[in-house]
Amino acid sequence: MTTLQTPAEGSGPRMVGAPPFPHPLVIRPHDERVRIYVWQVPVRVTHWVTFFSILLLVVTGAYIGDPYLLPPDGSIMRAIRFIHMVSAFTFLASGLLRLYWLFVGNRFSRWTAFVPVTASQRRELIKQIGWYLFVRKEAPRVLGHNALAAGTYTAIFVLFLVQTVTGFALAGMHGTEPWATLFGWVPSLMGGVSGMRLIHHLVMWVILAFMIHHVYSALLVDHWERNGLMSSIFSGYKFVTRGEIEEARDGGMEIEELAE
Amino acid sequence: MATVDGSVYHALIARGVSRRSFLKFSAAMAGALMLPAAYGPRIANALSTAKRLPVIWLEGQDCAGNTEAFLRASHPTVAEIILDTLSVDYHETIMAAAGRQAEDARKATMKAFPNGYLVVVEGSIPIAEGGIYCTIGGRTFEDTVKEVCAGAKAVIAVGSCAFDGGLPAAKGGPTGAVGVSQVVPKATVVNMPGCPMNVQNLTAAIVHFLTFGSLPATDSLGRPLFAYGQLIHDQCERRAHFERGEFVTAWGDDASRKGWCLYKMGCKGPETYANCPTARFNDGTSWPVKAGHGCVGCTMPSFWDQMSPFYGRLSTTPGFGSDVTADQVGLGIVATVAGLTALHAGGSYVRHKRDAAAPPPPAEAVEAGTATGGTQA
Ligand code: SF4
Ligand code: SF4
């Protein structure tokens, strides 16, 4: 949505995403900001569904783990466990959709954006850590997830998986099928049912800690790079300079393709 | 010791049990084994003709609690007589013979009934340092178990110690205590953990053996499903209070007088598989939760370590002290991340100020941006 002055024509502001025609005299400054479409609909939807289901899971899980504050009434525990289960299924559905999108989504949401498969991703990981530790002045240029963030999300996905498996294994303990059959083997891996319950509980705390970090680093990068990162998880768009697009590890494609 | 002549039924009649109560017992056993009622007559029939079963009862590292449960008799019930009239040919605690005489009785039974006797093992088997922590008649218990189980028709491990080492295997135990199935992996071992096991379950398992010629179906830990197939929590009479959010929060409080749920007092009913709420103890009189104390999960693997703290909901986190709760660990994780975040925010502010004070970078952007939309990238 940025504008650009073309001195040769002098015809005023113009959409960058759709130039009227290629013109050798059009000056396209490196620091001109353009709008690129990064997060597709399923990415944004699963992000928010996951967020809200985690919120419900944490609140209801806290009560189940240590029931207090709420006065005894009617069938409060039953109701809360019901909400916990419904949220768990919502969380699972959202996770499955995101899992599918790891294989069919755009370059920013595919699995290759998460697992540091290339050498440049691994170099970027080191650089990004350096930036966070204040030893590097510049953060590496990247349009989607930087390698460090991607690594963190991968770890969080693994924790989500642990929560899902231990959660449904706990449900299966009552003999509820198919969980009893599917996840009956889980407790033995975790030193018994108590160990499994402890892990389910501790991982919740780790996810809460991650949320703090996640919001902070998003604010930080948004502020630092002025690329509209915070709004991108609502709109899907980021605003980056042409220079960034050229330099970014996951950039370098035609702007037209990205601008939508 | 009883001889093996005659049927179980004859022994019962001789002890003054009426046919009516015998049939009632058979029906009750069908119920205990979770069999349809139609199995009652079949059990009665089998018991009427079954020869009494020679039993060798071995004790290792144990407290004789299962023997106590086995012998516990307020009045002669059919179950008790069933157990009584088992030909318990060897049982260190209750046999009259001692020393060489006792060992000879065991050997005689093994010789007289090759592959025909039942072995009940109580107590854990120490295997550290060659098994020297428990020896009987100059032989290690490990040795005896291996020898006796090799010729057994079936082996029943009673109590938590014989199941997986139990208390002697808890953290800090020096004897390398293990359960029966770890020492004789090839034998058919049915585990009846519990501290002690419920004698009703042992009776039912033996009745099953007498009726069907095999021990009952078990779960992956070798525990009979009829007794260990359901969570305590799912059978507990205080469950309604759990669902209503009615919890005891201090011993002796108003809630505990009302018989509310013991969840917050560390009841391990939600992680324990056993039939205590339905089978109960001492002729069906009561069981721990009914008596006002939470379950401590004694039928579960390594219960002493796994289920502690007995009076707390969650286990403590390995690597942290036993007085640090899981929530303290969790809050610590969150506080650490929050603290690091605050520190980083401070650092970022300094960086921001410093960069703002520094001269702006050369405007290379202008000269580089000569590509057109059509040819870019
Ligand atoms: S007392 Fe224990 S077993 Fe009974 S409902 Fe409460 S938590 Fe469950
Ligand atoms: S209630 Fe729990 S601790 Fe008590 S005997 Fe039953 S399983 Fe063991």
pLDDT in tens, A102-146: 999 888 888 888 887 788 888 888 888 888 788 777 777 778 888
User: In this structure, what token pair is assigned to residue B146?
Assistant: 């291996």
* Whether B326 and A184 lie within 8 Å, measured CB to CB: no
Ligand 2 within 6 A of B194 CB? yes
Instruction: Please write the tens of the pLDDT for every residue from A242-255.
Output: 777 777 777 765 55
E strands of A44-108, at which residues?
none
A59: domain CATH number is 1.20.950.20
Q: Rounded to the nearest whole angstrom, what is the distance from the C-alpha of residue A166 to the centroid of ligand 1? A: 21
Please name the residue whose Cα sits nearest to atom 8 of ligand 2: B298
Half-sphere exposure of A157 (CA within 13 A, CB side): 18
pLDDT, residue B31, reads 80
Note the residue count of chain A. Answer: 260
Contacts A3 to B, Cβ<8 Å: none
To 10 degrees, what angle do helices B19-32 and B199-212 make?
Answer: 100
Query: Which residue from B minimizes the CA distance to A247?
Result: B377
Mean pLDDT of chain A: 81
**Cα–Cα separations (whole angstroms), residue B330 to A158, A190, B54, B308, B320:** 18, 18, 55, 19, 12
Kindly give the pairing relationship between strand B54-59 and strand B87-91: parallel
> Is A3 within the bounds of a domain?
no
Q: How many domains does chain A have?
A: 1
Give how far B367 is from chain A: nearest CA, Å: 8
Task: Among B231, B232, B260, B307, name the best residue to mutate to test ligand 1's pocket (greatest count of ligand atoms within 8 A of Cβ).
Answer: B232
What is the predicted pLDDT for the residue at B292? 92
Cβ–Cβ under 8 Å, residues B270 and B263: yes
Domain that includes residue A252, residue range: 33-256
Residue whose Cα lies nearest atom 1 of ligand 2: it is B295
The first and second tokens of residue B298, run together, are 């004694």
State the count of interchain CB pairs (< 8 A) between A and B: 162
Q: Is residue A25 part of a domain?
A: no
- From the CB of residue A171, how many other CB atoms can be counted at a distance below 10 Å? 17
Cβ–Cβ gap A201/B366 under 8 Å: no
Task: Report pLDDT for B374.
Answer: 33
Ligand 1: centre distance to CA A168 (Å): 20
- E strands within chain B? 54-59, 87-91, 117-122, 125-126, 135-136, 139-140, 152-158, 177-178, 189-192
Distance of alpha carbon B126 from alpha carbon B144, whole angstroms: 12
Arithmetic mean of pLDDT, A14-30: 52
Residue B44 burial (CB count, 10 A): 20
What letter represents residue B33's amino acid? L
CB A137 within 8 A of CB B361: no
Kindly state whether residue A17 falls inside one of the protein's structural domains. Answer: no
CB-nearest to A134 from B327, B331, B351 is B351
Give the dihedral sign, CA B281/B282/B286/B291. Answer: negative
Q: Which has the higher per-residue pLDDT, B362 or A251? A: A251
Residue B30 has pLDDT above 80, yes or no: yes
Choose among B283, B116, B74: nearest CA to B213: B116
- Look at residue B361 and tell me whether its pLDDT is greater than 70: no
Q: What is the CATH number of domain B8-228?
A: 3.40.50.700
Contact B345 A216 (CB under 8 A): yes
CATH number assigned to the domain covering B231-377: 4.10.480.10
Q: Is the pLDDT of residue B370 over 60?
A: no
The pLDDT assigned to B115 comes to 65
Judge if B8-228 and B231-377 fold alike in CATH terms.
Answer: no
Ligand sitting nearest the alpha carbon of B163? 2
Domain ranges of chain B: 8-228, 231-377
Q: Is residue A12 part of a domain?
A: no
Question: Percent of chain B scored above 70 by pLDDT?
Answer: 87
What residues does ligand 1 touch, defined as CB less than 6 Å away? B 232-233, 236, 238-239, 242, 261-263, 267, 269-270, 289, 294-295
